[in-house]
Structure 1
Amino acid sequence: MGTRIFLLSILLFFCSCQKFLRENPNGFLAADQYYKTPEQAKAAVNGTYEGLGKIFTVDLGVSVSAVFALEYITGYSNRPRPSGFEDDQFLRLDKIDPANSRLQAWWAAYYKAIENCNSVIENINNTKVLDTATSRQYLGQVYFLRAWYYFQLVRLFGDVPLKTTPTKDLDNIFIPKTPMAQVYDQVVKDLDMAAASNLPWTDQSGRVSLGAVKSLLAKVYITMAGYPLQKGKEYYIKAYEAAMEVVNSGKFELFDDYSELRDIAKQNTREHIFMLQRHPTEAASIIHFGYLPYPDQPISIQPAYGGAMAPEQSFYDSYAAADKRKAEQAFFYTRYPNYSNPNSIVQLPAPFIFKFWDALAEQTGRSGENFPLIRYADVLLICAEARAMADGGSTADAVAIGAYYQVRKRAMPGEQRPAILEVDQVLKERYWELCFEFQTWFDMLRTRKALDVPSGQIVPLLGYKAPRHIKAFTEADLKFPIPLAEIQKNPALKD
């Protein structure tokens, strides 16, 4: 789907109400019929955000959502609700069938979004209806989004088709795969363009900000430094420097309490650098319901709607007893008041994820809670890891240690600041801090390391058998196959 023709899809319109980007389908328009007014140009830019939410399937519920595959494959989660064979391929670490619809969902969501980005970039550059400052900021947002989509694709699938111009006819639509190094170079180029577009450091509306651009650049550089490109020290330093730009901006800070991560009044502020914008009626979130206990634990108005994901008991047990993230109703919970009788406490059969609990959705059955895509905690840990790797695996750099310690101290207030920081300390912290935010698999791919939860040690990924899996990881497990439907449509995608 991604390498065939797409007309410009105008699917999102910006609304200042509650500061989110609403999904509002409005049909399909050819580019030569659009960009005639500032309002049309703005709507076209808003449409490029659509791809962020496509993998968080809403209309058909959690049972077909592609996004959970990113956590299933790590081996640190389970699915309390019975699942189909397509999810089981990730949960068990079976060989993934190229016909698995989860693969097609990822591919189609991002390539459609890329096509829209390409169209907007070409037409915003040519339109005369925008002033220069507005045009630059619109382009900055779209360059960032195109980089985001390609960054997801190249990490998941490896070599993928690289296309930076819109499709206008049926000629040359069978595009072959591009070597991943070239895809990464284009991602960096797009982010450099976004960084030069005069975006503000923060944006409480949920639009792309300079903070998001620099944070993603740090993530891209630390990925390029590791596997599979293995560019090494030069790129660890680049990652450190990009992360430090975010730190030195003074625009971001960690929340004091973990409950603030799910405070709807604090979305798109402070620790939340970039979020998926949701709304309870126009762009609902599945996350609250996807993490509800199943079957039929009576703690919400829709008690049986969840069951998509829960932590493996051994992962939950890997947190230190004093870790505040393990405290009841921080990242997890083991009991909750009965929805119809709050004086009665329901004891859950195992730990479940509370990290993204939406208190309003508990009552209404619709969640409008935004979901974090980039958090400041992530950037601080990138800063620490990148410096430690650049220094040979450990560092005495005070800035890097301070970045790590901010995250660690929030979880373990009584722990002393280390004098020397080992990279494995940072990696452990990433597993515990960023759990179930769809980040861990990408960390495992770029570091080729895993958290052995029984011992609490960082171990090589290849040869490691995760708690939920039926076998140990091999090289063949580290890249999703190109969807069969895409190969059938485009033979140039064959290996």
Structure 2
Amino acid sequence: MKRYSYIIMLALGLSVLSGCEDTLDVEPTTGVDIEEAITDETSLNRAALGTYSALQNSNYYGLRYLIYQDVYADNMQHRGTFTTDVEVSTRDIRASNLQIANTWASIYVAINRANTVIRAAEQLADLDEETRNRYIAEMRFIRALAHFDLLRVFGGVPVVTTPTTTIPEVQSLPRSSEAQVYDAVIADLMFAAENLGPAISNAPYRASSAAAVALLARVSLQRGDNASAEAAADAVITSGGYEILPNFGDLFVREGNAESIFELNFTTFDANGLGSASDPRTGGQKFYLRQAFFDQFKAAGDQGDVRFAQTTRFEGNRNRLLKYEDVAENADNVPVIRLAEMYLIRAEARARQGTPGAQADPQVIADINVIRERAGLSPITGALTNAAALDEILLQRRYEFVGEGLRFMDLKRYNLTCERLGFCEEDGEAFRNLWPIPLQQIEVNPNLTQNPGY
């Protein structure tokens, strides 16, 4: 039982102390460990910041979960000796993979912290209703993002909406269906959109109403609710709060820029592993562009696509990713949602609502051209069918967002994982469209069931 309690405490983000009395008693500045420490708005705000910090974990947006979306797909690959990374790169993940277990646990830490802040906000007597709802909305945005991130790789997962701060509060929840997870995510985002204000200018580091609507566009598109996806993306685009940067390369050197809708703010004291992970001059496990994709991207660069030179470079006999280049401090920010995605979501959602062989709406072509022209490519001037437009959108998404955690989701939405990744029903490999539920979690939660095939 001690082993199980230890695993549960790690999964919940609870402190596991060694018993030593001489450790430094340093007051945290970005979070609190237990709900009892939240006694006023100041400590509530610090706990909220600690929830954002959970998104920055190296198992989540700080490296592994983010990069794995390209590594498990056809954009990137692992070079190194870690079996956990090798399994992802070769698309042969085992249920015993400790990195997948750590990623699962880290995402649920973010959910648990969000739930802890929500409960505290509900119970604090000295908060006015608007302030209370704003904190709850922020946390429901994070909870929605985390549940959706779990959904896109594991399928149906337990939907957790109450906090666990002690072992007796541990919940052995069963998996919800995918539809139920989607419903929970959308409900959280709708609440967030209604109760959050606009982002602070040039500081998209906390949830805003626009961020909630933008994430709702992404979620709706993946679910196949194209009308809702188009409406949400259109609302963000026409809000006037964001703009496409003229120079693609500025996206990753100008932190908190006008195109960024929601961005994780890493610093020297709160670093990630992204810069070092694709620099062949540094030690550790590496993630580079796959050769086939590098060659295809280079051909686009030869045709004028500036994103190639600003995204990758052949260095040290490796195809390095350049979006995160800070190897000295590993403090590159991570844009989670930016305006370019909204244009391509609006275009894709509208094209999907039309007949494949029919001519695409002019707005679809215009939205694609926003991305093409910023990339240095000539605009599309002739007519495209909806099917051809969808092909172009997928291509532009691949070039635009490599290394930003969207590729595997895109291939699943386009039903291309058989063709591109070999996840074919006739070969008995379609089960790999979902990752295995970590064996460690099944051991401690008897109500969890494994995905078929693992």
Superposed, which structure 2 residues align to 1:67-466 within 5 Å? 67-80=66-79, 82-94=80-92, 96-167=93-164, 170=168, 173-202=171-200, 204-205=202-203, 206-225=205-224, 235-263=225-253, 266-280=254-268, 282-293=269-280, 303-305=281-283, 308-319=286-297, 320=300, 321-325=302-306, 327-328=308-309, 330-334=310-314, 348-358=316-326, 361=327, 365-393=328-356, 396-420=360-384, 422-449=389-416, 461-465=417-421
- CA deviations on 1:151-207 (whole Å, 9 max, x unpaired) are 011111112111212236626722111111111100000000001103214553311
1:6, distance to aligned residue in structure 2 (A): 4.4
Query: Which stretch shifts more, 117-126 or 200-209?
Result: 200-209
Partner of 2:55: 52
Q: Give 1 or 2: higher strand fraction.
A: 1
Match for 1:238: what amino acid? S
Distance in 1 of aligned mates of 2:135 and 2:14:
16
- Equivalent residues of 1:137, 1:198 under 8 A apart: yes
Distance in 2 of aligned mates of 1:331 and 1:243:
25
- The verdict on how the C-alpha distance between 1:396 and 1:46 changes in structure 2, with shifts beyond 3 A counting, is same
- Equivalent residues of 2:211, 2:337 under 8 A apart: yes
- CA deviations on 1:301-356 (whole Å, 9 max, x unpaired) are xx32366111112102213221423553x111236xxxxxxxxxxxx424322223
- The verdict on how the C-alpha distance between 1:7 and 1:472 changes in structure 2, with shifts beyond 3 A counting, is closer
Match for 2:230: what amino acid? Y
- The verdict on how the C-alpha distance between 1:244 and 1:472 changes in structure 2, with shifts beyond 3 A counting, is farther
Distance in 2 of aligned mates of 1:177 and 1:194:
24
Distance in 2 of aligned mates of 1:284 and 1:171:
32
Query: Which stretch shifts more, 144-153 or 173-182?
Result: 173-182
Distance in 1 of aligned mates of 2:344 and 2:65:
27
1:7, distance to aligned residue in structure 2 (A): 7.6
1:141, distance to aligned residue in structure 2 (A): 1.0
1:122, distance to aligned residue in structure 2 (A): 2.0
1:382, distance to aligned residue in structure 2 (A): 0.7
SS at 1:309 equivalent: strand
Q: For structure 1, which runs of at least 5 residues remain unmatched after alignment?
A: 10-21, 226-234, 294-302, 336-347, 450-460
SS at 2:100 equivalent: helix
Distance in 2 of aligned mates of 1:304 and 1:4:
30
SS at 1:247 equivalent: helix
- The verdict on how the C-alpha distance between 1:138 and 1:172 changes in structure 2, with shifts beyond 3 A counting, is closer
- Equivalent residues of 1:202, 1:251 under 8 A apart: no
- The verdict on how the C-alpha distance between 1:494 and 1:306 changes in structure 2, with shifts beyond 3 A counting, is closer
TM-score, normalised to structure 1, is: 0.78
Match for 1:484: what amino acid? L
Q: Number of matched residues?
A: 421
Correspondence for 2:438 among 480, 483, 486: 483
Distance in 1 of aligned mates of 2:359 and 2:103:
38
1:4, distance to aligned residue in structure 2 (A): 9.5
TM-score, normalised to structure 2, is: 0.85
SS at 1:83 equivalent: coil
- Equivalent residues of 1:284, 1:367 under 8 A apart: yes
- Equivalent residues of 1:23, 1:283 under 8 A apart: no
Q: For structure 2, which runs of at least 5 residues remain unmatched after alignment?
A: 1-6, 16-26
1:217, distance to aligned residue in structure 2 (A): 0.2
Partner of 1:458: none
- Equivalent residues of 2:227, 2:349 under 8 A apart: yes
SS at 1:273 equivalent: strand
1:440, distance to aligned residue in structure 2 (A): 0.4
- The verdict on how the C-alpha distance between 1:209 and 1:472 changes in structure 2, with shifts beyond 3 A counting, is farther
Cα RMSD for the two superposed structures: 2.8
1:93, distance to aligned residue in structure 2 (A): 1.9
Match for 2:106: what amino acid? A
- Equivalent residues of 2:249, 2:307 under 8 A apart: no
Correspondence for 2:33 among 6, 28, 32: 28
Distance in 2 of aligned mates of 1:52 and 1:417:
41
Match for 1:109: what amino acid? S
Match for 1:314: what amino acid? A
Partner of 1:453: none
Match for 1:401: what amino acid? I
Distance in 2 of aligned mates of 1:200 and 1:256:
23
SS at 2:216 equivalent: helix
Q: Give 1 or 2: higher helix fraction.
A: 2
Match for 1:355: what amino acid? K
